[in-house]
């Protein structure tokens, strides 16, 4: 999936790519390495000051991340926009009063979602308190995000939104105890820490106004900004943070574009709330590069999967996608426009340029037995200026976010055609859920792309030819019956390959269902949401919480007959923080976290938008 220009580079970066892919599909490795005491730092000469010596004894109670000296200081910090926010187009649908029956049904479903969340929270509180994740089968825990209580911080806003005030107060008191001088990891993912920890704290503060949360958010932000202390002020996204206290840092020459390009909402919101521009300045430098280099990539308008942070060159890779490793870069473009109140014209330019390219090259209509008018977003390989790019007709659960992104952009930038595109993308994800045996979408799959987005009749012969083409181990002389392949691989009609059969409790489908429902009021989306919730909870529920699934291609009957176990001992924090939040909000009253007042980060944390008074 990761695009590389030269074969030699490909070999050298294969391991790096695998690590990036696994992390982006969010299954962190577990490390329990203690954060050891370090020797005093001897600082090098820097242009604007003399070297100094500081203590890096992290066991010293006086150590503070905001007092770590800056090796490469910024001479003049970029200031937050001061213009009054614009009156942007209305995003949320004007809902009519519901009938008594509609209200009763909605509230019943809302309570079911809350019961599921409460059950998971109580198990976490009892068995994995202040750990990153609860293991939902064994009752153990995982600390794959630094040991900084990821599940707790990720769900502060949920506790507030769901009215669980006593649990919220207990959680806030626990947050104050999180020690950022201790870590279970040698290397932390700056992106994941930003969206989960910083995003979770800022959102909970925006909702509750509890100052303790802003204090901790500043502490997290003060730690994360040290990763930007490089010669060109580009961040180190996979950060060996002990080394940051031992000597100079240099940004990496191969970085996932989503990880470097998806820090803007959280850093900007922290500057907005504190009045300190240093966090906004840090991400503003990245936005400048995106703005300047957007038309210079090998697929102008979009950015490649990997970029060079060391040289600040975001143009040379050949793979382009809205999917994993690029996704939230594009998601944050219209959301930053909303967060800042529409005062920075670069975000409209970036949105229109990237989506025009994606619509032309990445979006495709799959051939389905019911001739469904749906879209899926795939991956595109550029071959240079004189050869047309090629589409890989792959679908991913993760890219289901794109339906909500297009619909939001269509609303904010007054482009109704994008709302319609968003609808077809959302419908594509719903279709994929409904056409799997468990009613649950797999991580990665392939289908036969239609020649036209306007008309596409089902052709069983073409489908079977597509299935056979996916069997890369077969030769032309092999006579294996395609029907046998379909049966053995449990392929439903329309699917040619299930490259990753897992479901890891992902939120992207219900995320876009929720957003599109709030924007259009279309009732079928609430019904689809309930079908998704029912299917997911039926398959994933454990005695303690909910578990990821290793294979969603089995029917319930097959699993019973074969006594097959597909539940895995894994429940990432986004199950509660994102998936259950969006299920809860789709059945809430529309004014609860209105899209005209709030905008969500990629971990489903709502930030308060700048809007005219």
Indicate which residues carry an active-site annotation.
Answer: 192, 327, 443, 508
Distance (Å, whole) CA 518 – CA 162: 18
Distance (Å, whole) CA 103 – CA 217: 38
Rg (CA), the chain: 24
Kindly state the tokens that stand for 366: 């799959």
Cα angle for residues 473, 479, 480 (degrees, 5° grid): 65
Strand partners, 567: 549
Cα angle for residues 326, 518, 347 (degrees, 5° grid): 40
**Residues sharing a CB contact under 8 Å with residue 237, sequence separation 6 or more, in sequence order:** 189, 190, 191, 227, 252, 255, 256, 259, 260, 309
Closest by CA position to 324, among listed 394, 266, 260, 258: 258
Distances (CA, A) of 571 to 25, 123, 506, 545: 13, 12, 10, 8
Query: Other C-beta atoms within 10 Å of 242: how many?
Result: 15
Element (DSSP H or E) covering residue 380: strand 379-381
410 within 8 A of 426, measured Cβ to Cβ: no
Q: What letter does residue 365 receive in the DSSP assignment?
A: P
> What is the residue-wise DSSP string for 78-134?
PPPP-SPPP-PPP-S--PPPPPHHHHHHHHHHHHHHHHHHHHHHHHHHHHSTTSSEE
**Residues sharing a CB contact under 8 Å with residue 543, sequence separation 6 or more, in sequence order:** none
Kindly state the tokens that stand for 538: 């039926």
342: left (phi over 0), alpha (psi -120 to 50) or beta: left
Q: What letter does residue 592 receive in the DSSP assignment?
A: T
Helix 401-412 to helix 508-520 angle, to the nearest 10 degrees?
30
Kindly state the tokens that stand for 201: 């704290």
Q: What letter does residue 580 receive in the DSSP assignment?
A: I
Kindly state the tokens that stand for 369: 């037995």
Interior/surface letters 292-318, b for 16+ CB within 10 angstroms, e for the rest: ebbeebbbbbbbbbbbbbbebebbbbb
Distance (Å, whole) CA 408 – CA 512: 10
> In angstroms, how far is the first alpha carbon of the chain from the final one?
46
Closest by CA position to 91, among listed 351, 426, 338: 338
């Amino acid at each position: 999936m990761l695009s590389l220009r030269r074969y030699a580079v490909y070999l050298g970066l294969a391991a790096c790519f695998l690590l990036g892919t696994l992390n982006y599909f969010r299954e962190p490795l577990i490390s329990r390495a203690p954060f050891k005491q370090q020797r005093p730092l001897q600082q090098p000469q820097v242009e604007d000051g003399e070297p100094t010596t500081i203590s890096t004894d992290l066991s010293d109670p006086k150590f503070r991340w905001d007092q770590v000296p800056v090796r490469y200081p910024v001479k003049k910090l970029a200031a937050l926009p001061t213009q009054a926010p614009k009156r942007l187009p209305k995003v949320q649908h004007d809902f009519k009063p519901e009938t008594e029956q509609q209200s009763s049904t909605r509230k019943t479903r809302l309570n079911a979602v809350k019961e599921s969340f409460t059950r998971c929270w109580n198990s976490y509180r009892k068995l994995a308190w202040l750990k990153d994740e609860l293991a939902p089968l064994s009752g153990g825990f995982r600390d794959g995000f630094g040991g900084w209580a990821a599940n707790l911080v990720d769900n502060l806003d949920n506790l507030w939104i769901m009215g669980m005030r006593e649990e919220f107060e207990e959680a806030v008191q626990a947050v104050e105890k999180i020690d950022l001088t201790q870590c279970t990891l040698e290397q932390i993912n700056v992106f994941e820490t930003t969206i989960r920890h910083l995003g979770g704290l800022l959102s909970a503060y925006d909702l509750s106004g509890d100052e303790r949360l802003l204090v901790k958010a500043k502490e997290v932000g003060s730690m994360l900004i040290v990763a930007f202390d490089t010669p060109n002020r580009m961040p180190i996204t996979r950060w060996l943070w002990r080394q940051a206290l031992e000597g100079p840092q240099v940004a990496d020459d191969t970085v996932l574009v989503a990880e470097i390009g998806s820090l803007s909402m959280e850093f900007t919101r922290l500057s907005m709330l504190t009045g300190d521009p240093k966090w906004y300045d840090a991400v503003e430098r990245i936005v400048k590069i995106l703005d300047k280099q957007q038309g210079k990539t090998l697929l102008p308008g979009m950015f490649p999967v990997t970029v060079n942070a060391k040289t600040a060159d975001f143009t040379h890779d050949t793979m382009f996608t809205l999917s994993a490793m690029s996704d939230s870069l594009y998601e944050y473009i219209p959301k930053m426009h909303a967060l800042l109140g529409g005062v920075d014209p670069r975000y409209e330019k970036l949105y229109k340029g990237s989506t025009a390219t994606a619509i032309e090259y990445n979006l495709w209509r799959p051939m389905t037995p019911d001739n469904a008018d749906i879209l899926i977003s795939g991956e595109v390989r550029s071959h240079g200026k004189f050869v047309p790019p090629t589409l890989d007709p792959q679908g991913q659960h993760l890219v289901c976010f794109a339906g909500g992104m297009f619909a939001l952009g269509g609303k904010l930038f007054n482009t109704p055609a994008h709302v319609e595109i968003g609808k077809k993308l959302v419908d594509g994800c719903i279709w994929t859920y409904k056409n799997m045996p468990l009613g649950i979408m797999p991580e990665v799959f392939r289908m036969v792309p239609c020649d036209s987005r306007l008309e596409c009749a089902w052709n069983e012969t073409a489908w079977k030819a597509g299935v056979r083409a996916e069997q890369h181990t077969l030769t032309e002389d092999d006579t294996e019956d395609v029907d046998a392949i379909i049966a053995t691989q449990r392929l439903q009609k329309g699917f040619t390959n299930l490259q990753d059969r897992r479901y890891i409790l992902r939120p992207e489908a219900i995320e876009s269902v929720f957003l599109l429902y709030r924007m259009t009021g279309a009732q079928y989306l609430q019904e689809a949401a309930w079908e998704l919730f029912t299917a997911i909870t039926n398959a994933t529920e454990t005695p303690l919480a909910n578990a990821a699934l290793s294979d969603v291609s089995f029917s319930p009957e097959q699993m019973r007959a074969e006594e097959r176990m597909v539940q895995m001992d894994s429940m990432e924090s986004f199950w509660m923080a994102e998936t259950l939040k969006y299920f809860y909000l789709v059945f809430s009253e529309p004014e609860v976290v209105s899209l005209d007042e709030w905008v969500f980060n990629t971990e489903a944390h709502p930030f308060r938008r700048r809007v005219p008074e």
